[in-house]
Amino acid sequence: MAHGVIFDCDGVLVNTEAIVTEIEMAAMASLGVVYEKANFISRFVGMSVPDFKVGLNADHRAVHGCDLPDGFFETLKANAYAALETRIEAHSGVHAFVSGLTVPRAVASSSERRVLGMKLQRTGLADLFGEHVHSADDVDNAKPAPDLYLRAARGLGVEPAKSLAIEDSASGVRSAVAAGMTCWGYTGGEHCPPGHAARLRAAGAAAVYDHFDGIAAAYAAGFASGGRA
Per-residue confidence of the chain (229 residues) as pLDDT tens digits?
679 999 999 999 999 888 999 999 999 999 999 999 888 988 888 788 888 999 999 999 999 999 999 999 999 999 998 998 889 999 999 999 999 999 999 999 998 898 899 999 999 999 999 999 999 999 999 999 999 999 999 999 999 999 999 999 999 999 999 999 999 999 998 888 889 999 999 999 999 999 999 999 999 997 765 545 4
Query: Which fold does the domain 17-87 belong to in CATH?
Result: DNA polymerase; domain 1 (1.10.150)
Q: Which of 8, 59, 147, 168 is catalytic?
A: 8
Question: What pairing do the DSSP bridges indicate for beta strands 164-167 and 133-135?
Answer: unpaired
**Predicted local distance difference test score (pLDDT) of residue 85:** 85
- Ranges of each domain in the chain: 5-15+88-225, 17-87
147 is catalytic: no
**Predicted local distance difference test score (pLDDT) of residue 228:** 52
**Predicted local distance difference test score (pLDDT) of residue 32:** 97
Q: Are 41 and 18 in contact (CB under 8 A)?
A: no
Q: Domain spanning 5-15+88-225 has what CATH number?
A: 3.40.50.1000
8 is catalytic: yes
pTM score: 0.85
